[in-house]
Structures are given as C-alpha cells and as structure tokens.
C-alpha cells in the first residue's frame, strides 16, 4: 500500500488543486469566501466553474450534480452532463458559473411539509463553497459533485444544511460578542468541530437476500434469539475477522481518496457490529463526510459480498447502532473553548461554554430529544437501550466537584478564583483517565469536547449539531445578559458570579449515575425533565413557544419552516411504520404460513401413517395440533395488524401516536408466534436465514 498522503484527497477539488488551477486572485477570493462564510463573488464563479470542469473531465467525469441533504434524511443528487451547444450549434462541454452557484433540480417529490406545493414544484440548489466539490465514483463512472443547500424559490428551507449553516452564524455572533466582553481581541471567527463515530452492522449478502424485512426495512421484524448472541461479550475490541479487516482496509483507502480522515476502526458490542470514527474537523465538513461515509461503506461492502446495515436496530436482543457526535467550538487562534488551560481567562471561557450548554440542555431537553427522534432511533432511546430518552449531562466526578465548589463559594476572592483555576487546569489529567466514564449518559463531557450519544446510526448528524449550536447560543446569550447587569465588576468575578447561579439552576440535568436504572426514570420525571418514549411523543416539543422563539431568535428556522419540519418528520415516521407493517403481514402470509403448512403436512402425514399402520402416535398428533395452533394464531395476528392499518385517524400526529402504541403492540404480538414457529419448524422449511447465521457468519 502506498503512503496515505500520496492518494489522500485525490478525488477532491481541494486547496492544492485550486492553487494549481485557479489564478492567484481567484484563489485568494475563494479562500476568503470559505473562511468568512461570505457569499461567493459572481465575478470569480465563472473561473472556478471552468477550472472545476477541466479538473473533473481530466479525471474522467462527464456529468455534474448538485448534492444536497433533504429533510427526510440521506442525500439527493440529480446528474446533468456538461454538454451544451456552442454559438455554432456544435456540442461542447461547458460548466458555467451560474450552473455552479445555482441549479434547479426537478425535486418536486421531496417532502417539504407543504412549503413548496407541487405546482410550484421548484426548489433550487446552490453551492456551499465551504464544502469542496469532489468526484463521485460509481464503478467506472465519475461525476463532479457540488455540495449544495436546497431552498424554495421564496428562500425557505428545504434541507438540513441551511439551518446548520445558520446556526453556526448565530453561535459565532454570540461567542465573539462575549469574547469582546472578556477582553479577547484576537478571536474573530468561531468554528464548530465535530468528530462522528459511526456504528454499523455487516451481514453476508447471501443471507440478507433471504430476508425481505432486512431488504425493505433495513431491520429484522422477526427472528428468534440465537443461542449465542452478545452474552459472551467477546466481540467488543476483540480481534477483527480477516475478511472484515480487508473490508475495513479497502473502506479506509476509499475514504482517504475522498479526503475523509478515517481514524479508528474496531469491533462493537454486538456480533458483526463495528465502528468507524473520523478525525474531527469543521462540523460542516464532518457532516458532509459522514454522509459520504455511509454511502461509500455500502459500495465497498458489495465487493466483499457484504451488506452494511445502518439501521439503529437491525436485530432485537443485541445492541443497536448509534452515532456518537463529538462537539466542541474553537476560534481562529486555534483555542478550543472546551479545553481547560493554564490561563485563568481561558478557563473562565471554558466554564462559560460549559455553563452555556448546561443552560441550553436544561431549558431545551425536549428539543434535543426531538432532533434525534425517528422510527429507527425509537428502538434505542427510551427503549431498553443506550442512551435513555431523558437528556442529562455527565461531567465526571472531578468536574462535578469543581462545579459544586463554585456553586457553594460565598466569597469570590483572589484565593478562591486561583483554586478554581487550578482545578480546571488539572482537569485534562483527570479526564484522560477514562475508567470512570459513564456510558449510559446521552451527553458526556470527555476531556475537551462534549459527546452526544443519542444520534441514530443512520441519521444525518446535522440536526444534532445544529441543536447543540443553538443550545449553546442560547446559554451564551443568557450569560452575557446577566453579566451586563454588573458591568463595572471585575470581569472574572462577574463571570463566576453568573456561573454560580447557572450551575445552581441547571443542577437537575447533571446526572452521574446509571441512566438505564428505573430510579433515574422516576427521578427524571420528578425533576421535570422530558422523557419522550417515542417519535410522536417527542416531536410536539418542536412547536412549543420556547422552541419557536429559539428557532427564530437564532435565525435557524421560521415558525412556518419549523411546522413544515414537524410535518415531514411525522410523515416519514408514518410511512416507515406502514412499510414495516406491510412487510410483516406480507412475510407472514407468503413465507411463514406456507412454511407452517409444509410442516403441518409432514407432521400430520406422519401421524396418519402411524395410525394407518396400527400404531397411532399421540405425540405426533399433538405436534400437528401445535403447528396448527401456531398457524391459526399467526393468521389471526396478521389480520389484526392489517385491521389497524386501515383505521382512519383525524390527523398525522394522531395516526403516528396510534401506530406507536396499538400497531407496535400488534406487530409484537405477531412476532411472538412467528418466532415461536421459527424455533419449532424444520430447518429445511424455514424460508429465511436465522439470527444465529445473520450474526455469526461473515
Ligand atoms: P473516544 O474515547 O470516545 O473514542 P476519542 O478521543 O477517540 O474518544 O475521540 C472520539 C471522536 O471524538 C473522534 O472522532 C475524535 O476525532 C473526536 N474529537 C476529539 N477531540 C475533539 C474535539 N475537540 N472536538 C470534536 N471532536 C473531537
Ligand atoms: Mg466516543
């Protein structure tokens, strides 16, 4: 294998290529646009587009696409070739500045929650110059990809990138304002950093093909527990199977070619479950990269006869998959605002950032839960799995003590401030000792960043990062406002005085215990913390007065856009569920019942033969009866599930709630009998791969 740096980023229109292919004037202007997030200067768009096209064509591309992040998840693209007519009506390959900056995809079928009614049917995409163009490689085909935002012609949000970019802008403004107040003249621009850790399952393609539930829903709807699941706990950090190592090597290689900094790969808790973490980077890139990672994984898996499962809960009874989103903020000087340091002023800044996020989580726990709510993630959050649906923060013993100390200090003098500073300075040494890390907390402080663990493995991490940004912005705003009440006080003393109140007020969201315990579920409710068990219970948080104010105040979404977002989420939830229920009833009727029929036939014939031979077998007769009973039950439960599906509901929220309650129960009831049948029916009749195989054979 060649050095990674030899091929790193070879598919990206990165700074190196830009420097080679753009005039120095254009290059400087573009870099300044990227760094300041200012709109792209029309005068250079033409040059950039031309250079991009030349670069893409020299690498074998014939088409380009604007690539965007629809609200229903995943990514979307529409390919156009470079060809157009020249002045003499000849075919030439051309890519104009206008095509780069703005394109009009025929994307009318993307859900837009009523914002873009179908007759207008037009949104437009526009290049986000802070994310570099790259080449999409599918087999031998290459396409120039322009990472884009997606807006309606009236300028309303239709995607997930736009709100994210807006959230960074308001966080930036709030941070810089406070930095000035603290006397920091050097900070001019804030960067949000993100390092996503992606969990996933791998399954052999041959086995996968036998399971309509995996193929259609991405998860199994049926399946009896295997005799060997994860109870041996031998998979986590165990040796990676050889074929899997080869897959990971190829995957890393493909990611490096795309300039995606894959860093860590290891086994996860469940059999056939793995994790891939990227080095952290500017969150805008980290998000775009994570979306690419999910696609590239799937492609590479095909070459190895695997299928990658990104669903949050592909199998019942073993761990599901999440995406830990590591989040921090830093400025143009390189200072990380969550990094304890030797400088007292920087430590004040650290405590302020901490306090700001705590204020946000305290007030907007419901929003934080809602931003990761979907049908897949419902199997993790609030179910029997990590992390719980109550949004609390884990700080670790050392930092907790420090905060308690600040909270209880009556007298803020030089000495107490020096003590606090010393405490913060010692923090990195302490939190490097990961032994006491609490894995059950949805948000944990881990040394120099927060780790948000409630994000689902298949989700676009954008909404989670956007929400963390907004929560922090809100907290900074409150802190600034309170500090302004004592303008003349020494700035450090002033800050600590405010923080003291903040830590006191937000005490309820600090939780160091076991987040899975029943006692925390009860205590959380007593503390008034939201604990939404499923998507329809979580989504109404979006439309509370508080959240609408936050969305409008941070200029992330208008009330109308927010309502559209909730509609899309509800619609997606309902559709996902309907597909699952229909797949389940279909499988029951066309696979499970016929398998049972074969089994009944065999057992009943055997019983009849015995009887005819004059040695009637009670055991065989009972056996045949057992199978018949299963047949009857499965048929009955299938009918019940179907009846639930045709029931009218007054609106989408009622329908979603009805599904989350009644239909889920009906599916569970059906599953019990199907799984029972799986354990009894002859292997030769069972029409699909079982958990034991799905989880152990690679
Ligand atoms: P863990 O013990 O959780 O595996 P790591 O130190 O390996 O912790 O980091 C996990 C992820 O966090 C990686 O993707 C890493 O790049 C990212 N990360 C590390 N530092 C930061 C930071 N300051 N801001 C955001 N993400 C970070
Ligand atoms: Mg982690």
Q: Which atom of ligand 1 is nearest to the CA of 327?
A: 25
Question: How many angstroms does the Cα of residue 21 sit away from the middle of ligand 1?
Answer: 34
* Arithmetic mean of pLDDT, 227-244: 66
Ligand closest to 428 (CA) is 1
The predicted-structure confidence for 374-393, as pLDDT tens digits, reads as follows 999 999 987 767 788 899 99
* Arithmetic mean of pLDDT, 114-137: 78
> With 90 as the cut, is the pLDDT of residue 93 above it?
no
DSSP letter for 529, please. -
Average pLDDT in the chain: 91
pLDDT at 435: 45
**Rounded to whole angstroms, how far apart are CA atoms 380 and 270?**
14
> With 70 as the cut, is the pLDDT of residue 533 above it?
yes
* Arithmetic mean of pLDDT, 68-78: 89
Alpha carbon of residue 601 to chain centroid: 48
Q: Which atom of ligand 1 is nearest to the CA of 339?
A: 23
* Arithmetic mean of pLDDT, 312-331: 95
According to the per-residue pLDDT averaged within each range, which of 116-125, 397-406, 557-566 is highest?
557-566
Structure tokens at 641: 């599930």
**Rounded to whole angstroms, how far apart are CA atoms 80 and 82?**
7
Task: Decide if 193 contacts 281 (C-beta within 8 A).
Answer: yes
Of 12, 16, 42, whose CA–CA distance to 29 is shortest?
Answer: 42
Establish how many alpha carbons lie within 13 A of residue 511's alpha carbon, considering only the half-sphere containing its beta carbon: 27
Ligand closest to 446 (CA) is 1
Question: How many angstroms does the Cα of residue 306 sit away from the middle of ligand 1?
Answer: 28
The predicted-structure confidence for 126-137, as pLDDT tens digits, reads as follows 899 999 999 999
Residues 6+ apart with CB under 8 A from 549: none
Question: How many angstroms does the Cα of residue 280 sit away from the middle of ligand 1?
Answer: 6
Ligand closest to 323 (CA) is 2
Residues 6+ apart with CB under 8 A from 51: 18, 21, 22
pLDDT at 117: 59
Of 286, 491, 313, whose CA–CA distance to 385 is shortest?
Answer: 313
DSSP letter for 235, please. S
Task: Decide if 438 contacts 417 (C-beta within 8 A).
Answer: no
Helix axes 559-587, 545-553, angle to 10 degrees: 120
The predicted-structure confidence for 445-492, as pLDDT tens digits, reads as follows 998 999 999 999 999 999 999 999 999 999 999 999 999 999 899 998
> With 50 as the cut, is the pLDDT of residue 269 above it?
yes
Q: Which atom of ligand 1 is nearest to the CA of 197?
A: 14
> With 60 as the cut, is the pLDDT of residue 432 above it?
no
Range with lowest mean pLDDT among 153-162, 366-375, 668-677: 153-162
Of 528, 134, 569, whose CA–CA distance to 371 is shortest?
Answer: 569
pLDDT at 57: 94
To test the ligand 1 pocket, which listed residue (275, 276, 277) has its Cβ within 8 A of the most ligand atoms? Answer: 277
Question: How many angstroms does the Cα of residue 531 sit away from the middle of ligand 1?
Answer: 27
- Backbone angle region of 373, left / alpha / beta, with phi > 0 → left and psi within -120 to 50 → alpha: beta
Task: Decide if 587 contacts 222 (C-beta within 8 A).
Answer: yes
* Arithmetic mean of pLDDT, 540-555: 97
Kindly report the three-state secondary structure assignment for every residue of 425-470. Answer: HHHHHHHHCHHHCCCCCCEEECCCCEEECCCECCCCCHHHHHHHHH
pLDDT at 111: 66
Higher model confidence: residue 433 or residue 582?
Answer: 582
pLDDT band at 424 (very low <50, low <70, confident <90, very high): confident
> With 90 as the cut, is the pLDDT of residue 642 above it?
yes
Task: Say what the pTM is.
Answer: 0.95
Find the residues whose C-beta lies inside 6 A of ligand 1.
Answer: 193-195, 197, 277-280, 326-328, 336, 446, 448-449, 451
**Rounded to whole angstroms, how far apart are CA atoms 293 and 252?**
10
The predicted-structure confidence for 270-311, as pLDDT tens digits, reads as follows 889 999 999 999 999 999 999 999 999 999 999 999 999 999
* Arithmetic mean of pLDDT, 32-37: 82
């Amino acid at each position: 294998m060649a050095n990674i740096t030899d091929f790193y980023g070879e598919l990206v229109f990165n700074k190196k290529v830009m420097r080679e292919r753009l005039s120095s004037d254009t290059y400087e202007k573009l870099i300044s646009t990227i760094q300041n997030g200012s709109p792209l200067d029309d005068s250079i768009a033409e040059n950039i587009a031309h250079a991009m096209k030349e670069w893409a064509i020299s690498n074998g591309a014939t088409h380009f696409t604007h690539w965007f992040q629809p609200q229903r998840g995943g990514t979307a693209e529409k390919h156009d070739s470079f060809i157009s007519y020249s002045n003499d009506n000849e075919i030439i390959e051309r890519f104009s500045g206008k095509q780069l900056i703005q394109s009009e995809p025929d994307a009318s079928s993307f859900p837009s929650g009523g914002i873009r009614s179908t007759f207008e049917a037009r949104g437009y995409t526009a290049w986000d110059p802070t994310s570099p163009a790259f080449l999409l490689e599918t087999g031998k085909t290459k396409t120039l990809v322009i990472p884009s935002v997606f807006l309606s012609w009236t300028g309303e949000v239709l995607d997930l990138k736009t709100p994210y970019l807006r959230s960074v802008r308001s966080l930036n403004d709030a941070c810089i304002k406070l930095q000035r107040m603290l006397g920091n003249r050097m900070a001019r621009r804030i960067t949000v950093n993100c390092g996503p850790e992606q969990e996933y399952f791998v399954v052999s393609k041959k086995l996968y093909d036998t399971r309509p539930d995996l193929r259609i829903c991405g998860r199994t709807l049926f399946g009896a527990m295997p005799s060997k699941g994860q109870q041996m706990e031998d998979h986590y950090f165990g040796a990676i199977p050889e074929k899997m190592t080869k897959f990971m090597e190829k995957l890393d290689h493909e990611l490096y070619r795309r300039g995606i900094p894959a860093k860590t790969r290891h086994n996860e808790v469940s059999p056939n479950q793995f994790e891939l973490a990227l080095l952290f980077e500017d969150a805008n890139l980290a998000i775009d990269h994570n979306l690419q990672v999910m696609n590239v994984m799937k492609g590479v898996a095909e070459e190895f006869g695997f299928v990658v499962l990104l669903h949050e809960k592909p199998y019942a009874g073993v761990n599901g998959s999440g995406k830990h989103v590591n989040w921090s903020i830093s400025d143009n000087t390189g200072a990380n605002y969550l990094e304890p340091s030797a400088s007292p002023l920087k430590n004040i800044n650290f405590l302020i950032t901490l306090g700001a996020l705590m204020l946000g989580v305290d007030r907007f726990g419901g929003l934080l839960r809602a931003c990761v709510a979907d049908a897949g993630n419902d199997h993790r959050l609030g179910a029997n799995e990590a992390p719980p649906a109550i949004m609390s923060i884990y700080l670790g013993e050392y930092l907790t003590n420090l905060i308690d100390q600040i909270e209880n200090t009556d007298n803020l003098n030089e000495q107490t401030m020096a003590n606090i500073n010393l405490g913060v300075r010692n923090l990195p040494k302490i939190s490097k000792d990961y032994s006491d890390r609490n894995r059950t907390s949805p948000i944990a402080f881990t040394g120099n960043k927060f780790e948000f663990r409630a994000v689902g493995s298949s989700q676009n991490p954008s909404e989670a990062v956007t929400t963390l940004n907004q929560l922090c912005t809100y907290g900074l705003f409150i802190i600034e406002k309170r500090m302004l009440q004592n303008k003349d006080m020494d700035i450090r003393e002033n800050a600590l005085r405010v923080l003291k109140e903040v830590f006191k007020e937000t005490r309820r969201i600090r939780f160091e215990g076991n987040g899975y315990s029943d006692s925390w579920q009860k205590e959380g409710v007593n503390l008034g913390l939201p604990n939404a068990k499923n998507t329809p219970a979580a989504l109404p948080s979006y439309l509370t007065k508080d959240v609408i104010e936050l969305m409008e105040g941070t200029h992330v979404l208008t009330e109308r856009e927010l309502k559209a977002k909730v509609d899309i989420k509800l619609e997606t939830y309902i559709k996902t569920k309907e597909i699952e229920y229909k797949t389940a009833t279909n499988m029951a009727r066309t696979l499970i019942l016929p398998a049972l029929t074969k089994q009944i036939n065999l057992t009943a014939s055997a019983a009849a033969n015995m009887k005819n031979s004059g040695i009637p077998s009670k055991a065989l007769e009972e056996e045949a009866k057992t199978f018949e009973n299963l047949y009857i039950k499965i048929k009955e439960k299938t009918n019940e599930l179907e009846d639930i599906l045709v029931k009218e509901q007054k609106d989408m929220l009622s329908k979603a709630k009805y599904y989350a309650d009644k239909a889920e129960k009906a599916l569970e009831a059906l599953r019990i009998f199907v799984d029972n049948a799986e354990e009894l029916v002859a292997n030769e009749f069972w029409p699909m791969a079982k958990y034991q195989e799905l989880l152990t054979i690679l």
